[in-house]
């Protein structure tokens, strides 16, 4: 096999039979394995179903070897450990690991029965005793120079302990520390992939010394001693990537020495009784056998065999672990979890493998994915009650199968260096022995004494330094306490501020509530306003209806009167013509009739018009002002409400704005800082307690411990602070962001609301003012119109009285009578004229008809029409003929005829038609606008009636 060849880890499964507990629990077997050994296949029924259904839920795993309940210890050794053992003898570093749930037989597999019976091993002896025996058997057969050393270390609660240290668990025991080893100290060694890190300083001198050594002739072959070579692991450990400082290695010369060391170590090992195992191992152990085997004349190859018994993963609820046991289980599970992650990372070929996350994985660094040949034995229980743990163990075992190592031959050491080391150690021990023998008490060599004195001095110095460090820590602690007090005070004030802020927020909520209610009130007022407008529209409509009624009344009167007037005129003309032809013309009576008929008609028109007009005006005078006054009052009311609401709203908004500013200021100025202080405070507290504990323990520890603890504590504190700061930053920012956003959005909304309200207020004020003004104007106009109408009514009355007197008409008629003779000759032409007049009346009739038509649909703008009517009434007052007094408008209809009669003494002889003036001025020129024509309004219609 080439040295750099990749080799998968060998994975074996060992399934024991059901133990008493499982039998008592009547837990069925769910794991299928061969009874002894067979193919590398193991199946587990994950559902717990039985019969055919069970076949469906079997999960199968493939590994290198599977051993069933009947597989004995010897088979395990020959199948798994022996191939590795052979490589170990050849100079490879090898590791055998047992892994599995508690009580599945890890210790049984690795150690088993380690006792000797007549210097022989029992059948139940596990791998370690078997390797020891096999080793010396093999070395004896090879009959070559060698040296064997053993070490036994346990990892308990993440702390390394030397199980072979006679001062184990006492104050004198030296603390073990893990270092990454440098590459081989010997020129003949091969470099490891993980051996580039610098060696610890305390290794430097000896290593340098050795490198400087030149080859010298070898002396010893076997070392017949099992005395400890204290602190020598550093000197001889060359190919492994991991170095344990202060770990003692013991020379052994035969298997029994090794067994004794094993037994000594096992006595020190942490074992406890749990519900699942009477002798449950509470720690991980590594029994290491180091072989220095002669390679050629002057060099020895160093190889190691690590036999690792891992503590069992356990379900605390099942194992019933409490207090110390629970703590142990937690630590065990934690380190096994990291081991699982390391296996996963290696199997997935991740660039980062978390070896440094636990001491266990650091120790196994070279065995997993390194230069070591490794075999993993996963022990499992066949019972259903442990099916979950068994599945998990099988998952890990399968994963581990894909891990590849690059086994390499171990490094070399020069024979003379090896001999010198041993000689020095021997000399030291001999010297101590002699001193002890010659005197009472505890004696030692001068050199050893000197060394111990040096150590003592060093320790004294360390204690002093530690004291100083402790004092410094106390000062820091006092400062931290002071800080804590200040922080607490800040915290209190912060709390008060938060409470205040909360009450402010509550107050704001109340205000918003009030504002909401105001808005609702405003909406109802607007609603009322709308209904008032609708009422007004209805009033206008009734006003329009009245106008229509008035028009139709007017139409009826005009039709009746003008029509009857026209008919009687036509009858008169006809009669006149007949009388003229029969020469019996009684013009006086005719004229008298005309006169009386004319007066009667005018009187009827007048009285009807007067009656309608009076009724209309009274109606308007009665309803209109009161109605407008009501609207006016309502609008004023609305205006007041809106103004009050608006001012209240403005004050509330300014309050909100002010609160927001306070809040913003608080957020910017205090909020984050104080929270940070609070969190910092918690972390400071935490770290303070840690520091306190550390300080107390540190005072009792040696310098290494002290320095390491200090470093660790400082790092923990720094990291804690860093994490706390980051966490707080992230948390605060995370919490603050949505709040800030919400506040900003709320402010935006408030501002928008403010703007909207201001706009609304302006608009409603403008609108109500406009309405107010319009209604005021309309009211004024109505009042003045009513006054004017009343005045016109008076004028109408006086005009009518004058007309009634009919002085001028009487006079003219008399004149006509006197002039009867003279006019006789002209009767014919008069008859013609009358014919013409008849036609003209027809035209007048049509004109009136069209005028009435035009009146029909002129209600577009009632207010305008009313104002136009009033305006018209004001501007179109006419005076009666021969009088300076005012005449009602409608009396002027017949004025042209009378005027002509008065001004021309011979109206009958005149070629100009008396109607011509009417034609030219108003009728014939047809200035009348048709229905629907622009400007068609009541005012125009009234003009035409004139
Ligand atoms: N294959 C086996 N044959 C016979 N007995 C076994 C076998 N496996 C385990 N046992 C017995 O089961 C008991 C528990 O075994 P062991 O202490 O080795 O378990 P473990 O896995 O090391 O447990 P823990 O992790 O708690 O230390 C012991 O009494 C052991 O003798």
pLDDT in tens, 100-138: 988 899 999 999 999 999 889 999 999 999 999 999 999
Rounded to an integer, the average pLDDT of 2-29 is 86
What is the value of pTM for the model shown? 0.47
Task: Classify each residue of 855-876 as buried b or exposed e, where b means 16 or more C-beta atoms within 10 Å of its C-beta.
Answer: beebbeebeebbbbbbbbbeee
ipTM score over 0.95, yes or no: yes
Three-class DSSP category at 408: coil
pLDDT at 311: 84
CA–CA dist 14, 16 (Å, integer)? 6
Residue 906 has pLDDT above 80, yes or no: no
Residue of the CA atom closest to atom 12 of ligand 1: 105
Kindly give the number of the ligand 1 atom that is closest to the alpha carbon of 274.
26
* Dihedral, CA of residue 114, residue 120, residue 125 and residue 129, to nearest 10: 60
pLDDT at 47: 76
Residue 60 has pLDDT above 80, yes or no: yes
pLDDT at 934: 36
Give the residue, out of 21, 108, 110, 310, with the most ligand 1 atoms within 8 A of its beta carbon, to mutate for a pocket test: 108
Q: For ligand 1, is residue 319 a contact (CB within 6 Å)?
A: no
For residue 49, report the distance from its CA to the centre of ligand 1, in Å: 27
Listed in order, strand segments (DSSP E) in 16-138 are 31-32, 41-45, 58-62, 65-67, 94-100, 116-117, 120-121
Using pLDDT thresholds of 50, 70 and 90, give the confidence band for residue 75. Answer: very high
The per-residue DSSP string of 896-924 comes to HHHHHHHH-S-TTT-SS-TTHHHHHHTST
Which of 343-352, 436-445, 600-609, 886-895 is the most confident on average?
A: 343-352
Q: For ligand 1, is residue 408 a contact (CB within 6 Å)?
A: no
Q: Out of 66-80, 465-479, 768-782, pick the least confident.
A: 768-782
Q: For ligand 1, is residue 279 a contact (CB within 6 Å)?
A: yes
Consult the annotation and say whether 794 binds a ligand: no
**pLDDT > 90: percent of the chain:** 19
Which of 272-276, 667-671, 724-728 is the most confident on average?
A: 724-728
Residue 200 has pLDDT above 50, yes or no: no
Give the residue, out of 101, 107, 386, with the most ligand 1 atoms within 8 A of its beta carbon, to mutate for a pocket test: 107
CB neighbours (10 Å) of residue 348? 10
Consult the annotation and say whether 101 binds a ligand: yes
pLDDT at 206: 38
Rounded to an integer, the average pLDDT of 595-617 is 72
For residue 59, report the distance from its CA to the centre of ligand 1, in Å: 25
CB neighbours (10 Å) of residue 669? 10
Consult the annotation and say whether 766 binds a ligand: no
Average pLDDT for the chain:
73
pLDDT at 665: 73
Rounded to an integer, the average pLDDT of 317-339 is 70
Q: What is the pLDDT of residues 495-538, one digit of tens each?
A: 999 999 999 898 989 988 898 888 888 888 888 888 888 888 88
The per-residue DSSP string of 520-553 comes to HHHHHHHHHHHHHHHHHHHHHHHHHHHHHHHHHH
9-417 CATH pick, 3.40.850.10, 1.10.340.30, 3.30.530.20, 3.40.190.10: 3.40.850.10
Q: Using the structure block, give the residue that is written with the tokens 């007052």.
A: 877
Do the bridges between strand 41-45 and strand 31-32 make them parallel or antiparallel, or are there none, so unpaired? Answer: antiparallel
Give the residue, out of 109, 111, 277, with the most ligand 1 atoms within 8 A of its beta carbon, to mutate for a pocket test: 277
pLDDT at 582: 59
Residue 412 has pLDDT above 70, yes or no: yes
Using pLDDT thresholds of 50, 70 and 90, give the confidence band for residue 48. Answer: low
pLDDT at 336: 82
User: Do residues 931 and 856 lie in contact, with contact meaning Cβ atoms separated by under 8 Å?
Assistant: yes
pLDDT at 806: 56
Q: Please calculate the CA angle 114-115-117 and round it to the nearest 5 degrees.
A: 135
For residue 271, report the distance from its CA to the centre of ligand 1, in Å: 13
The continuous run of DSSP H or E covering 496 comes out as helix 446-581
Consult the annotation and say whether 441 binds a ligand: no
**How is residue 946 written in tokens?**
């004139």
For residue 82, report the distance from its CA to the centre of ligand 1, in Å: 21
CA–CA dist 661, 504 (Å, integer)? 12
Q: For ligand 1, is residue 311 a contact (CB within 6 Å)?
A: yes
Q: Taking phi first (over 0 means left), then psi (-120 to 50 degrees means alpha), and beta for anything else, what does residue 119 get?
A: left
Q: What is the pLDDT of residues 892-904, one digit of tens each?
A: 333 333 333 333 3
Q: Which residue has the higher pLDDT, 279 or 140?
A: 140
Q: Which residue has the higher pLDDT, 479 or 654?
A: 479
User: Do residues 816 and 910 lie in contact, with contact meaning Cβ atoms separated by under 8 Å?
Assistant: no
pLDDT at 413: 86
């Amino acid at each position: 096999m080439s040295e750099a060849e990749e080799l998968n880890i060998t994975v074996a499964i060992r399934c024991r039979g059901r133990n008493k507990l499982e039998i008592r629990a009547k837990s069925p077997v769910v794991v299928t394995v061969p009874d002894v050994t067979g193919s590398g296949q193991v199946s587990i029924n994950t559902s717990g179903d039985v019969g055919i259904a069970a076949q469906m839920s079997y999960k199968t795993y493939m590994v290198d070897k599977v051993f069933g309940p009947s597989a004995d210890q010897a088979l395990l050794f020959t199948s798994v450990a022996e191939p590795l053992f052979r490589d170990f003898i050849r100079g490879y570093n090898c590791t055998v690991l047992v892994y599995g749930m508690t009580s599945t037989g890890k210790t049984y597999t690795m150690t088993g029965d380690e006792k000797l019976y007549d210097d022989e091993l029992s059948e139940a002896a596990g791998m370690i005793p078997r390797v020891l025996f096999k080793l010396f058997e093999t070395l004896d057969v090879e009959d070559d120079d060698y040296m064997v050393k053993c070490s036994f270390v346990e990892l308990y609660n993440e702390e390394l302990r030397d199980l072979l240290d006679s001062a184990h668990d006492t104050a004198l025991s030296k603390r073990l520390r893990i270092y990454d080893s440098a590459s081989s100290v010997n020129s003949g060694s091969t470099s490891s992939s993980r051996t580039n890190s610098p060696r610890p300083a305390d290794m430097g001198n000896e290593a340098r010394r050795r490198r400087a050594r030149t080859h010298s002739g070898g002396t010893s072959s076997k070392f017949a001693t099992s005395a400890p070579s204290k602190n020598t692991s550093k000197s001889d450990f060359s190919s492994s990537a991991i170095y344990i400082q202060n770990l003692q290695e013991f020379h052994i010369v035969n298997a029994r020495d090794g067994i004794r060391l094993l037994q000594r170590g096992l006595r020190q090992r942490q074992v406890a009784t749990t519900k699942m195992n009477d002798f449950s191992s509470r720690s991980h152990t590594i029994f290491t056998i180091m072989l220095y085997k002669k390679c050629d004349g002057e060099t020895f190859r160093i190889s190691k065999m690590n036999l690792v018994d891992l503590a069992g993963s356990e379900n605390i609820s099942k194992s019933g672990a409490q207090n110390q046991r629970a703590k142990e289980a937690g630590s065990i599970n934690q380190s096994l979890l990291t081991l699982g992650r390391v296996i996963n990372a290696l199997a997935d070929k991740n660039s980062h493998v978390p070896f440094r996350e636990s001491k266990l994985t650091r120790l196994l660094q070279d065995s997993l994915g390194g230069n070591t040949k490794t075999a993993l034995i996963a022990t499992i229980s066949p019972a259903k009650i442990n099916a979950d743990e068994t599945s998990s163990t099988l998952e890990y075992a399968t994963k581990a199968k894909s891990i590849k190592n690059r086994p390499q031959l171990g490094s070399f050491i020069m024979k003379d260096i090896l001999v010198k080391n041993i000689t020095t150690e021997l000399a030291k021990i001999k010297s101590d022995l002699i001193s002890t023998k010659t005197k009472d008490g505890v004696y030692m060599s001068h050199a050893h004494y000197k060394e111990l004195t040096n150590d003592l001095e060093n320790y004294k110095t360390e204690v002093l330094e530690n004291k100083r460090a402790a004092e410094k820590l106390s000062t820091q602690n006092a400062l931290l306490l002071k800080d804590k007090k200040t922080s607490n005070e800040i915290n209190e004030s912060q709390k008060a501020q938060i409470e205040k802020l909360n009450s402010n927020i509550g107050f704001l909520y109340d205000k918003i509530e009030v504002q909401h209610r105001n808005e609702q009130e405003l909406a109802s007022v607007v609603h009322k306003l709308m209904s008032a407008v609708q009422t007004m529209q209805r009033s206008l409509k009734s006003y329009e209806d009245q106008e229509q009624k008035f028009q139709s009344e007017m139409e009826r009167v005009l039709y009746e009167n003008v029509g009857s007037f026209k008919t009687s005129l036509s009858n008169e003309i006809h009669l006149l013509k007949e009388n003229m032809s029969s020469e019996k013309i009684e013009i006086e009576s005719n004229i008298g009739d005309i006169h009386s008929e004319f007066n009667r008609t005018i009187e009827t028109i007048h009285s009807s018009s007067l009656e309608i007009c009076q009724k209309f005006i009274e109606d308007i005078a009665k309803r209109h002002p009161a109605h407008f006054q009501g609207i006016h009052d309502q609008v004023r009311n609305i205006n007041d409400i809106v103004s009050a609401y608006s001012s209240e709203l403005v004050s509330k908004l300014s309050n909100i704005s002010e609160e927001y500013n306070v809040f913003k200021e608080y957020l910017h100025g205090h909020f984050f800082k104080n929270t940070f202080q609070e969190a910092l405070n918690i972390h400071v507290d935490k770290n303070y307690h840690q520091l306190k504990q550390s300080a107390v323990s540190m005072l009792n520890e040696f310098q290494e411990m002290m320095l390491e603890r200090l470093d660790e504590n400082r790092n923990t504190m720094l990291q804690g602070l860093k994490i706390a700061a980051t966490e707080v930053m992230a948390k605060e920012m995370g919490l603050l962001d949505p709040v800030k956003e919400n506040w900003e959005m709320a402010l935006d909304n408030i501002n928008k609301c403010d703007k909207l309200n201001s706009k609304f207020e302006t608009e409603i004020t403008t609108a109500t003012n406009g309405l107010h003004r319009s209604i005021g104007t309309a009211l004024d106009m109505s009042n003045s119109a009513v006054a004017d109408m009343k005045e016109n009514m008076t004028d109408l009355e006086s005009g009518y009285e004058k007309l009634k007197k009919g002085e001028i008409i009487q006079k003219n008629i008399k004149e006509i009578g006197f002039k009867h003779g003279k006019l006789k000759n002209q009767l014919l032409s008069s008859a013609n004229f009358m014919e013409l007049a008849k036609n003209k009346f027809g035209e007048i009739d049509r004109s009136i008809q069209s005028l009435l038509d035009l009146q029909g649909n002129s209600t577009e703008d009632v207010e305008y029409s009313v104002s136009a009517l009033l305006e018209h009434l004001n501007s179109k007052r006419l005076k009666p003929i021969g009088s300076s007094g005012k005449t009602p408008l409608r009396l002027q209809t017949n004025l042209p005829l009378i005027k002509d009669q008065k001004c021309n003494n011979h109206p009958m002889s005149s070629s100009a038609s008396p109607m011509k003036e009417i034609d030219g001025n108003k009728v014939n020129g047809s200035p009348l606008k048709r229905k629907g024509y622009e400007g068609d309004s009541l005012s125009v219609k009234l003009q035409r009636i004139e």
